[in-house]
Amino acid sequence: MPTLALKLVLTPVLIGSASLIGRRFGPGVAGWLIGLPFTSGPITFFLALDHGEAFASRAAAGILGGTASQVAFALAYAYVAQRRAWPAALFVGTAAFGLTTAALEIVSPPLVAVAILAIASLLVGIRLLHAGQAIRERSVLPRWDLPARMVLATAFVLALTALAERLGPYLTGLLAPYPLYATILAAFAHQQEGAEAAARTLRGLLFGLFAFVGFFLVLAVTLESFGLMPSFALALLVALALEGASFRLAC
């Protein structure tokens, strides 16, 4: 199957499945679940198909560094959400993501330092981000909600992979983990159920990101030596193991 067809099929299927599971079990579980690389994983896979394993390996290192950017987004969004509506929280969260990404692009730390930074930022972020109260009643979502999520995620994957060669592997990797899906979930939760629901979603995300870190650390280390399919298979096994271990803490 051509890579374009894969992008058009795989991305919406992954995002749609995650959305339905999140609806069933609530914002904390939804946030935890999206720690899995539903958008950045396919992006890396498509980069490997289009540009080779070396390019994708460097991008994976950038995505790993983007963990700190996601933590910055979550903390900034949750802080502003206590005082302002979701557009302001989204703006400040995105600005925090952008500033952290710019700093990482300038410094370009080695892989070991990136991995340490990713784990340390998650530990600090979880400590600082307080969990919201459990939601007793959930709003009925509009019919267009699920299709909109799928379209936005697919458009993001298509755009970023199209620009990858111009941006270069590391910057592409840093941009790939922009928490598009978390943004959608948190903004909807914020609008429909309040700031505490948004905070609960984002705290779940931080717990889920340990799986994200494991996934991309494996890819960054093994892609060039193991090849595409074995490397992705190993990364997925590691991610699923970490995701399972973090479930009780997140929820």
What is the rounded average pLDDT of the residues 125-132? 80
Closest CA relative to residue 27, chosen from 81, 97, 83, 101 = 81
Q: What are phi and psi for residue 235, nearest 5 degrees?
A: -60, -40
Q: What are the tens digits of pLDDT across the range 73-106?
A: 999 999 999 999 999 999 999 999 999 998 988 9
Contact 187, 86 (CB under 8 A): yes
Q: What are the tens digits of pLDDT across the range 20-63?
A: 776 677 666 766 776 778 778 888 888 898 889 999 999 999 98
d(CA 140, CA 45): 35
Under 8 Å CB-to-CB from 75, ≥6 apart: which residues? 96, 125, 128, 129
pLDDT of residue 79: 93
